[in-house]
Chains A and B, each alone.
Chain A
C-alpha cells in the first residue's frame, strides 16, 4: 500500500507541466510565423489571472452550466492518475482500466457539451453538436489503438502497459507500432481541438468547435476549462510518447527522454498548425475514419503475427 501512496506523486509532473505544452505550441507557431510570441509560461499566467477573477453568468443558465467545468476537470484529473511517471507506477491501475480512461474523457466531454447547450446560444449549440459528433467518430479509432496496445502487452491496464512499452520490444512488428502511433497522433489532434480539425485561435465563431463552447465561461470556471484542455493534451501526448520510448533505460534517463518527447509532440503540433489549413467540416469524419483504418491495419498486422 505504501508503494501506491508514493505512486500518487507521479501525478505531479502532469499537474505542473501540462500548461507548458500549450506554451510550447504557441511559441512554436509564433516563431514559425516570424513573431516573438507570448512567453512560454503564458498559460500559467492566464490561469493565475482567471483564478483571481469573479464571474459573469448568463441569465439563461442553470446549475448545469456552473457545475460543468468542475465535473469536466474532475474526470480529467482522475484520468491523469492512470499515467505512470518515470520510475513511479500509475496510482490508479487495475485490469480493464483502459475502458475507464476512455469513458472518463467522455464524461468530461458530456459535461462541457451540456454546459454549452445550457446557454441557449446558437453558436455554442453548433460547437457542442460538432464536438459530440467528431468525438463519436474518433471513439472507434481510439479503442482500436487501445486494443492494439492491450494485445501487444497482453494486459488491459493503461499504467503497466505504458510503463513497459518500448519500441525495441515490438521487434519485427514495428510497422504495427508505426500505424498505431500515427492513428493516435491523428486522434490527439482531433480530440484536443487542433488543426486540421479545429482551430483554437480562429476569430470567427461560426467556424469554431471547442472554443465556441466555452464562450460564456469566465473566471475560475474558465480556468478549470483551460487547465482541463492542457491536461487532456498531456494525457494523449503521454500515451503517444510512452509507446514510442526507444527502450527501457535507467529511471532518470527515461524520465528525461519522456519529457523531451512531450516537448517534441508539442512542437510538432505547433508545426502542423503553422503549415496546414483546416479541413472542411464535412471532411473531418473521413479524417477520423482514416485514423480508425490505420489503427485497424495495425491490429490486423499485429494479430496475424501471432501472440507476443
Chain B
C-alpha cells in the first residue's frame, strides 16, 4: 500500500462529491446526502491508507512533474500525516450527518447545495494539506481550505453581522497565509526548491531558523487560534451553521497545529527558546481562552473561546515536549507529545459533540443567548445527555478522553520538573499550577453552560417549547459521545495512532511500528481507574435504588427557602454564575457594565447588562486598524476623482521612469 495513488483516493472522492452536490441544484437535501455518503467513503479509504502507514511503519510517497515553476506535485504520508488524515476524515462523517439534519431548518436552495460542495472541498483540502510535500501544493491546499471555510461561514449572508464576522475571518486567515508564503519563500531561496525534502536537507542557520519559526508561529498560530491571533475564532464560529462550527473548531484549527509540527520536524532539533515560546503562548492561550469563555452569554461563542483554551493546552504540551527533548529526557518528551497529539483527537471529538448539542439547543430555541434558555434536558434528553458527556470530557475529568490527554501532558510537566535541570525544570514546574487553574476555570465554565442551558426551568417561552432534534442530528451526538468514552477507557490502544508522530517530534529514531509510545505504561492504570470509577458509581446507584425501593419517594416544588412564588426568571443566570470568578479579575477583564438601578420605594424597572470585549481587539487590533486608517488617510489628497489629474499622474510616472532609465 506504500505505492500508487491509493491515499489520494479520499480527497479525489470528496472533490467528485462536491461536483455532484453542486449539480443537485435546488435539491439541497440530496446534496447533503451526497456529502454524507462521500464523507463516509472517504473516511473508510483514508483510514485504510493511514492505518497501512501506521501499522507497517513505512511512509508513502508519490511525485509527479508539474507545469508550475519551481514546484513539483509531491505528496507523501508519514506517521504525523497518517494520524491527522485519519482524524480529519473520521470527524468529517458526524459533521456531515449532523449538517444533513441541521440544514433542513433553512429549507432547500441552490445556495445550500453550494454550501455542501464547499463542505466537501474543505474536507478534501484539509486532507491535501496533510499529504502535501511541497510548498506550492501545500499553500494551494491551505488556500482552498481557507476559502471553502469562508464560504461555509458566510452561509447565512443575509444577516449583516454574519457578513462582517466572516470578513474578519477572511482577513485573518490571509494574513496568516501571507506569513506562511514569506516563510516558504525565505527558506526556499536558500534551499533552491520548495519540496519539503529539499527544505529539510538545507537546514537554515540559527538566526534564519528563528525567523522561520516566528513566521510559522504567526501563520499557523492564526489558523490554530493562539492568543493573540485568535480574534476571528469567537466571531466566525457563532456565525457559521453548527456542523460547520464543529468541523472548523474540532478539525480545521488543528491544521495550524499540524503545520507547526510539520515545520518543527523539518527544522530539526529545536533550541530551548522555541520550547519556551510555545509553552508560554500555550499557557496564555489556555488561561485567556477559558477566562473569556466564562464571560460569554452566547453558547457558541463560549465554545469558540474554549477552542482557544484547548489549542493552548495542545501547544503547551508541544512546548513541554520540545523542552524535555532539549533537556535530553526523550521518554518524557514522547509522553508530553503523545498527550499533545492525543488532545488534538480528543478536542476534535468533544468539541464537535459540544457544537452539535449546543447548536441543536440553540436551533430548537431560536436563540444562542444562554440567559433565555434553560430546562432543555427534559425537552431534549439525548442532546442534553450527550452535552454533559462533552462537558465532563472537555473539563478533563475522568473517566472520559480529555482526562487521558491532559494526564499525559501533566506527566510530562511533572517528569520534566523532577528530572530536568536548571531553568527547564523550574519553568515546567511553574506550568503545573497554570494548567490546574485552567482546569478549575473550565469546570466552572461548563458547569455554567450545562446548568444554565439544560438544567432548571426554561427562561423563555421559546425554550419551553423546544423538542428533540431529528435522528440525523442526535446520532452524531451519540457517536461522538461514545468516541469520548471509548478514547477515555481504551486510551493505550488509541495511543498507537500518535506514537510515530510523537517519536519523530521527540527526535527518537525509528522504533517498532504499531506500538504504544514509550513511557506511557502507567496509562493502563489511569484507564483501569476510569473503569473502577464507573463500577463504583454504578454500585452506588444500585445501592441507592435498593434503599429507595418500597419507600415513599414523592415530588414537590423546589425548596424556595420560605419563598413560594418563585418564577423561572428568578433562577441564577449565566452572568451571575460567572461573576465571582470574573469580579476579582475586573482589572484584567475590564467589563463594560450597563446598570439601571431600582429607584424609589416602588421601583418600576431596573436592568443590568454586562459585556466583555476581547483585549486583543481592544488594545491590539483596534489601534492597529486606526493607525492603518490614518496612514491611508494621508494618501487621500492624491485622490481627487478628476480624470485629468490621473492622466497627469501617469505622465509624471512615465517621465520619472524615463529619467531613471536614462540616468542609471
Interface string of A143-155 (1 = CB under 8 A from B): 1100100110010
Tally chain B residues at the interface, Cβ within 8 Å.
82
**Do A114 and B410 touch across chains, with their CB atoms under 8 A apart?**
no
Interface string of A276-308 (1 = CB under 8 A from B): 000001100110000010001001000100000
- CB closest residue in chain A, given B529: A100
A282 CA / B584 CA spacing, docked (Å): 8
Interface residues of A in 120-139 (CB under 8 A from B): 120-126, 128-130, 132-139
A103-B396, A113-B451 known; A120-B529 Cβ under 8 A: no
A59-B556, A78-B536 known; A70-B451 Cβ under 8 A: no
A126 CA / B561 CA spacing, docked (Å): 13
- CB closest residue in chain A, given B396: A103
**Do A147 and B432 touch across chains, with their CB atoms under 8 A apart?**
yes
A106-B397, A106-B440 known; A96-B407 Cβ under 8 A: yes
Q: Tell me how far the C-beta of A81 lies from the nearest C-beta in chain B, rounded to whole angstroms.
A: 8
Binds B, one of A33-41, A48-56, A165-173, A251-259: A48-56
- Residue of B447, B566, B581 near A128 (CB, 8 A) is B447
- CB closest residue in chain B, given A284: B580
Residue numbers in A under 8 Å from B396 (CB-CB)? 103
**Do B447 and A114 touch across chains, with their CB atoms under 8 A apart?**
yes
Q: Tell me how far the C-beta of B119 lies from the nearest C-beta in chain A, rounded to whole angstroms.
A: 34
**Most A-side CB within 10 Å, residue of B374, B434, B446, B571:** B571
- Residue of B377, B397, B436 near A110 (CB, 8 A) is B397
Binds B, one of A22-30, A214-222, A263-271: A214-222
**Do A98 and B414 touch across chains, with their CB atoms under 8 A apart?**
yes
Residue numbers in B under 8 Å from A113 (CB-CB)? 447, 451
**Do B414 and A147 touch across chains, with their CB atoms under 8 A apart?**
yes
Binds A, one of B295-303, B477-485, B546-554: B546-554
**Do B555 and A57 touch across chains, with their CB atoms under 8 A apart?**
yes
- Residue of A96, A106, A109, A123 near B410 (CB, 8 A) is A96
Residue A248 at the chain B interface, CB threshold 8 Å:
no
Q: Tell me how far the C-beta of B390 lies from the nearest C-beta in chain A, rounded to whole angstroms.
A: 13
A60 CA / B581 CA spacing, docked (Å): 27
- Residue of B410, B537, B557 near A59 (CB, 8 A) is B557
Residue A58 at the chain B interface, CB threshold 8 Å:
yes
**Do A132 and B581 touch across chains, with their CB atoms under 8 A apart?**
yes
Interface residues of B in 389-418 (CB under 8 A from A): 392, 395-398, 403, 406-407, 410-411, 414-415, 417-418
A243 CA / B490 CA spacing, docked (Å): 35
A14 CA / B403 CA spacing, docked (Å): 26
Interface residues of B in 532-588 (CB under 8 A from A): 532-533, 536-537, 539-541, 543-544, 547-548, 551-561, 566, 568, 570-572, 576-581, 583-584
A231 CA / B388 CA spacing, docked (Å): 26
**Do A106 and B451 touch across chains, with their CB atoms under 8 A apart?**
no
A27 CA / B414 CA spacing, docked (Å): 41
**Do A110 and B392 touch across chains, with their CB atoms under 8 A apart?**
yes
Residue A141 at the chain B interface, CB threshold 8 Å:
yes
Residue A9 at the chain B interface, CB threshold 8 Å:
no
**Do B558 and A55 touch across chains, with their CB atoms under 8 A apart?**
no
Residue numbers in A under 8 Å from B451 (CB-CB)? 113-114, 117-118, 125, 128
Interface residues of A in 87-127 (CB under 8 A from B): 92, 94-100, 102-104, 106-107, 109-110, 113-114, 117-126
Residue A62 at the chain B interface, CB threshold 8 Å:
yes
Residue numbers in A under 8 Å from B378 (CB-CB)? 62
Interface string of B441-466 (1 = CB under 8 A from A): 10110111011100111000000000
Residue numbers in B under 8 Å from A54 (CB-CB)? 548, 551-554
**Do B581 and A136 touch across chains, with their CB atoms under 8 A apart?**
yes
Residue A74 at the chain B interface, CB threshold 8 Å:
yes
- CB closest residue in chain A, given B561: A205
Residue A75 at the chain B interface, CB threshold 8 Å:
yes
Residue A73 at the chain B interface, CB threshold 8 Å:
yes
A120-B571, A122-B566, A139-B436 known; A106-B418 Cβ under 8 A: no
A133 CA / B576 CA spacing, docked (Å): 12
**Do A121 and B571 touch across chains, with their CB atoms under 8 A apart?**
yes
A118 CA / B568 CA spacing, docked (Å): 12
Residue numbers in A under 8 Å from B377 (CB-CB)? 62, 64
- CB closest residue in chain B, given A140: B433
Residue numbers in B under 8 Å from A99 (CB-CB)? 406-407, 410-411, 414
Q: Tell me how far the C-beta of B442 lies from the nearest C-beta in chain A, rounded to whole angstroms.
A: 9
**Do B558 and A74 touch across chains, with their CB atoms under 8 A apart?**
no
- CB closest residue in chain A, given B378: A62
Residue numbers in A under 8 Å from B579 (CB-CB)? 129
**Do B533 and A215 touch across chains, with their CB atoms under 8 A apart?**
no
Q: Tell me how far the C-beta of A150 lies from the nearest C-beta in chain B, rounded to whole angstroms.
A: 6
- CB closest residue in chain B, given A95: B522
Residue numbers in A under 8 Å from B555 (CB-CB)? 56-59
Residue numbers in B under 8 Å from A234 (CB-CB)? none
**Do A147 and B417 touch across chains, with their CB atoms under 8 A apart?**
yes
- Residue of B403, B446, B522, B570 near A94 (CB, 8 A) is B522
Interface residues of A in 225-280 (CB under 8 A from B): none
**Most B-side CB within 10 Å, residue of A71, A136, A141, A215:** A136
Residue B526 at the chain A interface, CB threshold 8 Å:
yes
Residue B62 at the chain A interface, CB threshold 8 Å:
no
**Do A140 and B437 touch across chains, with their CB atoms under 8 A apart?**
yes
Grouping DSSP codes into helix (H, G, I), strand (E, B) and loop, the B interface class, with mixed when no group exceeds half, is: helix
A216 CA / B561 CA spacing, docked (Å): 10
A98 CA / B533 CA spacing, docked (Å): 16
A106-B395, A106-B443, A121-B559 known; A303-B411 Cβ under 8 A: no
Q: Tell me how far the C-beta of A258 lies from the nearest C-beta in chain B, rounded to whole angstroms.
A: 25
Q: Tell me how far the C-beta of A126 lies from the nearest C-beta in chain B, rounded to whole angstroms.
A: 6
- CB closest residue in chain B, given A118: B455
A296 CA / B436 CA spacing, docked (Å): 14
Residue B525 at the chain A interface, CB threshold 8 Å:
yes
Interface residues of B in 470-523 (CB under 8 A from A): 522
- CB closest residue in chain B, given A300: B426
Residue numbers in A under 8 Å from B560 (CB-CB)? 121, 123
- Residue of A120, A144, A282, A286 near B433 (CB, 8 A) is A144
Interface residues of B in 349-400 (CB under 8 A from A): 374-375, 377-378, 384, 388, 392, 395-398
Residue numbers in B under 8 Å from A75 (CB-CB)? 398, 533, 537
Residue B439 at the chain A interface, CB threshold 8 Å:
yes
A81 CA / B137 CA spacing, docked (Å): 55
**Do A103 and B444 touch across chains, with their CB atoms under 8 A apart?**
no
Residue numbers in B under 8 Å from A95 (CB-CB)? 411, 522
- CB closest residue in chain B, given A147: B432
**Do B541 and A110 touch across chains, with their CB atoms under 8 A apart?**
no
Interface residues of A in 149-165 (CB under 8 A from B): 150-151, 154, 156
Residue numbers in B under 8 Å from A220 (CB-CB)? 543-544, 547-548
A197 CA / B611 CA spacing, docked (Å): 29
**Do B444 and A136 touch across chains, with their CB atoms under 8 A apart?**
yes
**Do B544 and A121 touch across chains, with their CB atoms under 8 A apart?**
no
Residue A12 at the chain B interface, CB threshold 8 Å:
no
A219 CA / B429 CA spacing, docked (Å): 44
Residue B340 at the chain A interface, CB threshold 8 Å:
no
Residue numbers in B under 8 Å from A117 (CB-CB)? 447, 450-452, 455-456, 572
**Do B414 and A135 touch across chains, with their CB atoms under 8 A apart?**
no
**Most B-side CB within 10 Å, residue of A122, A135, A296:** A122
Residue numbers in A under 8 Å from B414 (CB-CB)? 96, 98-99, 147, 150, 156
A114-B388, A136-B437, A156-B414 known; A60-B456 Cβ under 8 A: yes
Residue numbers in A under 8 Å from B425 (CB-CB)? 303
A60-B558, A64-B388, A220-B547 known; A74-B397 Cβ under 8 A: no
Chosen A-B contacts, 14 in total, with CB atoms closer than 8 Å, are: A54-B548, A54-B552, A55-B554, A70-B537, A99-B410, A100-B407, A102-B436, A107-B398, A120-B374, A123-B560, A135-B444, A140-B437, A144-B432, A205-B561
Beyond A56-B554, A220-B547, 15 additional contacts (C-beta under 8 Å) are: A54-B552, A57-B553, A60-B457, A96-B410, A96-B411, A98-B414, A107-B533, A120-B558, A126-B576, A128-B572, A134-B580, A137-B584, A139-B439, A224-B540, A282-B583
Q: Can you list the 7 inter-chain pairs with the closest CB atoms, starting with the nearest?
A: A125-B572, A117-B451, A136-B440, A120-B456, A74-B537, A140-B433, A54-B551
